[in-house]
Amino acid sequence: MVSVRAVPADLPDVDVLLDHYLDERAATFPVAQGSYRRKRTDPREFVPPHGTFVVAHDGEDAVGCGGLRRIDDDDEDVRFEVKHVFVEPAARGAGVATAIMDALERAAVDLGATSVVLDTNDSLVAAGAMYRGRGYERIAPYNDNPNATAWYRRRVG
């Protein structure tokens, strides 16, 4: 049974998960796009009321994570951005990413968001399909993330 709970983003379990995430992205990044740029978001950006960070556990094992941070509003919305959604390979296909996204979207509403945005890479086919299946729509780039090829938004609240 997977449980998801908010935690400080500077815990050792978070460091391990983010290292696995960044290692996997660097190893699988499309060669045609150049080199993957490893970058962690400052853990202070995931502190309420500016954001949150969650870890999914299967029993005592940390099997996934994701963060949510406030970014600048645009002309239409109070925006929060999803960052670093990752599920350990052995836990994939069991609904962990869905549980993480459910927790992040609930937190976004609780924190006053009117939309949630995220960026990803089109090479992450399953992630893109999950986001679109959750109602995220592709939008114009809202940042200059060199690792991203796709930007999405979902209205919430």
pLDDT value at position 157?
A: 80
- Give residue limits of the domains in the chain: 2-34+41-155
CB 46 within 8 A of CB 69: yes
pLDDT value at position 129?
A: 97
- In the chain, which residues have pLDDT < 50? none
pLDDT value at position 29?
A: 92
| Class for the domain spanning 2-34+41-155 | alpha beta
CB 118 within 8 A of CB 79: no
